[in-house]
Chains A and B, each alone.
Chain A
Amino acid sequence: EPEVTQTPSHQVTQMGQEVILRCVPISNHLYFYWYRQILGQKVEFLVSFYNNEISEKSEIFDDQFSVERPDGSNFTLKIRSTKLEDSAMYFCASSERGTDYNEQFFGPGTRLTVL
Chain B
Amino acid sequence: QKEVEQNSGPLSVPEGAIASLNCTYSDRVSQSFFWYRQYSGKSPELIMSIYSNGDKEDGRFTAQLNKASQYVSLLIRDSQPSDSATYLCAVGKASGGGADGLTFGKGTHLIIQP
CA distance A95 to B98 in the complex (A): 11
Q: B82 in the interface, Cβ–Cβ < 8 Å?
A: no
- Among B98, B103, B104, the residue within 8 A (CB) of A50 is B98
Asked whether, in the complex, the Cβ of B32 is within 8 Å of the Cβ of A100, the reply is yes
Interface string of A82-99 (1 = CB under 8 A from B): 000000010100010011
Known contacts: A42-B107, A108-B42. The answer to whether A99 contacts B94 by CB under 8 A is yes
Known contacts: A43-B104, A56-B101, A104-B46. The answer to whether A99 contacts B96 by CB under 8 A is yes
Asked whether, in the complex, the Cβ of A101 is within 8 Å of the Cβ of B49, the reply is yes
Asked whether, in the complex, the Cβ of B99 is within 8 Å of the Cβ of A33, the reply is yes
Looking at the assembled complex, report how far the CB atom of B55 sits from the nearest CB atom of chain A, in whole angstroms: 17
Interface string of B30-63 (1 = CB under 8 A from A): 0110101000001111100101000000000000
A66 contacts across to B, CB distance below 8 A: none
Interface string of B81-114 (1 = CB under 8 A from A): 0000000101011111111111111110000000
Known contacts: A99-B92, A99-B94. The answer to whether A58 contacts B49 by CB under 8 A is no
Asked whether, in the complex, the Cβ of A55 is within 8 Å of the Cβ of B98, the reply is yes
Asked whether, in the complex, the Cβ of A56 is within 8 Å of the Cβ of B95, the reply is yes
B100 contacts across to A, CB distance below 8 A: 48, 55-56, 98-99, 102
A91 contacts across to B, CB distance below 8 A: 43-44
CA distance A107 to B106 in the complex (A): 19
Interface residues of A (CB under 8 A from B): 31-33, 35, 41-50, 55-56, 58, 89, 91, 95, 98-109
Interface residues of B (CB under 8 A from A): 31-32, 34, 36, 42-46, 49, 51, 88, 90, 92-107
Pairs A–B under 8 Å by Cβ, sample size 29: A35-B102, A42-B88, A42-B105, A43-B90, A43-B104, A45-B101, A45-B104, A48-B98, A48-B101, A49-B99, A55-B98, A55-B99, A58-B101, A98-B95, A99-B31, A99-B32, A99-B98, A101-B32, A101-B49, A102-B32, A102-B92, A103-B46, A103-B49, A104-B34, A104-B102, A106-B44, A107-B43, A108-B42, A109-B42
